[in-house]
Amino acid sequence: MAEGHRVVVVGAGFGGLQCARELRDEPVQVTLVDRHNYHLFTPLLYQVASCLLNPSEVAAPLRKVFRSARNVRIRVGEVQSIDLAERRVHLADGTHLEYDDVVIAAGSTANYFGNDDLARDVLGLKDLGQAIELRNHVLACLESAALSEDDEDRRCHLTFCIVGGGPTGVEYAGALAELVRLVLPDEYPEIDPAAVRIVVLEGADRVLPAFPPGLSNYGQRELERRGVEVHTNQLVAKASKTHVETRAGMHIDTRTIVWTAGVRPTDLVATVAPQVAENRFDVDDHLRVNGAAHAYAIGDAAAGRDHHGKVLPMLSPPAMQEGRFVARHILASRRGRDTRAFRYHDKGTLATIGRTAAVGVVGPLQFTGFLGWLVWLAVHLYYLIGFENRVRVLMRWAWYYVRYDRPVRALIDARSPQP
């Protein structure tokens, strides 16, 4: 067991996990803190919500990931605050962890753009609990619609409104359309498939606004081909359990509002440091938190920049590269060596609209259609943590894609654990 230099990594998302992996078997003592006992592969979360994957297929238990690493301790707990002067990470259970270096990789949470009342009435798609809740909710809506004697009420239960046309919104809308198309005709004879409405509301003038316009057009066309209504330039003004209204005057009766309109860093950032830009830690070119010693910030929690000085997007590739960089920088510093400044390598962005249709940008290349989907599949399988997960998820996809089935449809109400 390596004693001595204590590194606390706050958060086991893409950034924190990569950082801790890079530090394994090195002469430092790592404590990886997360509120969950697993690393979540968020890019496939929408597949849990749309009945294709089991929760365990996108959640890698942290103790398993680090099972052979003797210098990495897993600490399940909620971080409440970080005292940069005293070098302590305070947890919600009243205990604290002392550190020599801290890596803040606390991630992000749903952004309601100031309208936090919305949180009560919408469904999220940001963590595993929410994905299961959304899956259960959609299945319960189909059951209610199958029973309903009232046309109005049935329509309301069969209208699914997705707020946000970024990758998460587009991917979930596409997957939901496929679920409905595969499952309804054979299994819900009570429901007319034509009565189902899946609506995407995007605030910008096109879906997938982070992609080139050509790919946005392709994405919208593919969604529409699957029966999804896409409305751009629609910002949500009001929402309740039974309807949503946009500023431009659209009014939709629906029992299901899925909020994928954006993310913001967790509130932890604000409690730690006043000197932040848009709630992200202001960091130098070595990802050190400005104004604090021995503190690094990475991923969605930090405003890391590329070599043009542009703040990096809140996505997994920057977080992973930053995590590895910080780990190497900590190790080099311990050895008294210098490291060059962090430099982000943009490997591209991908989003899938559904079975055999995806969009991708890799450097000067743009992919669409089946080719894009193959690239998307390969990249996601490669980055899935844990070898058996990769093999199993691939087998599962192959099987259910061939059979046009969605297996994970039990509506399970599990009570919360009380240890």
Residues that bind a second copy in the complex, under the rule CB under 8 A:
36-38, 54-57, 59, 61, 63-64, 67-68, 70, 73-77, 95, 128-129, 132-133, 136-137, 139-141, 143-144, 146-147, 157, 183, 186-190, 255, 388, 392, 395-396, 399, 403, 405, 407-419
Closest approach, Cβ 145 to a second copy, in A, equals 10
Q: Which is nearer to a second copy, 128 or 269 (CB)?
A: 128
Residues 6+ apart with CB under 8 A from 355: 178, 373, 401
Q: Which is nearer to a second copy, 9 or 58 (CB)?
A: 58
Q: Whole-angstrom Cα distance, residue 321 to residue 281?
A: 17
Of the residues 26, 57, 171, 222, only one is catalytic, namely: 171
Closest approach, Cβ 305 to a second copy, in A, equals 34
Distance set, CA 324 to CA 19, 299, 308 (Å): 5, 11, 21
Q: Whole-angstrom Cα distance, residue 334 to residue 38?
A: 29
Residues 6+ apart with CB under 8 A from 173: 162, 198, 200, 223, 228
Q: Whole-angstrom Cα distance, residue 65 to residue 108?
A: 22
Closest approach, Cβ 400 to a second copy, in A, equals 8
Q: Whole-angstrom Cα distance, residue 276 to residue 235?
A: 27
Q: Got the DSSP string for 5-62?
A: -EEEEE--SHHHHHHHHHHTTSSSEEEEEESSSEEE-GGGHHHHHTTSS-GGGTEEEH
Closest approach, Cβ 408 to a second copy, in A, equals 4
Confirm if 104 and 19 have CB atoms less than 8 A apart: no
SS3 category, 234: coil
Q: Which is nearer to a second copy, 117 or 388 (CB)?
A: 388
Confirm if 271 and 81 have CB atoms less than 8 A apart: yes
Q: Whole-angstrom Cα distance, residue 396 to residue 56?
A: 13
Q: Got the DSSP string for 83-105?
A: ETTTTEEEETTS-EEE-SEEEE-
Q: Which is nearer to a second copy, 334 or 392 (CB)?
A: 392
Closest approach, Cβ 67 to a second copy, in A, equals 4
Q: Which is nearer to a second copy, 41 or 281 (CB)?
A: 41
Q: Which is nearer to a second copy, 364 or 419 (CB)?
A: 419
- Parallel, antiparallel or unpaired: strands 29-34 and 6-10: parallel
Could you tell me the strand order of the sheet in which 88-91 lies?
79-83, 88-91, 96-98
Distance set, CA 395 to CA 358, 388, 392, 401 (Å): 20, 10, 5, 10
* Selection from 205, 202, 239 nearest residue 122 by Cα: 239
Count Cβ neighbours within 10 Å for each residue of 35-52 and write b for 16 or more, e otherwise: ebebbbbbbbbbbbbbbb
Residues 6+ apart with CB under 8 A from 321: 18, 342, 344, 345
Q: Which is nearer to a second copy, 149 or 338 (CB)?
A: 149
Closest approach, Cβ 157 to a second copy, in A, equals 7
Closest approach, Cβ 331 to a second copy, in A, equals 22
Cβ neighbour number for residue 345 with a 10 Å cutoff: 8
Residue type, position 345, single letter = H
Q: Which is nearer to a second copy, 313 or 407 (CB)?
A: 407
Closest approach, Cβ 139 to a second copy, in A, equals 6
98 annotated active-site: no
Q: Which residues are catalytic?
A: 171
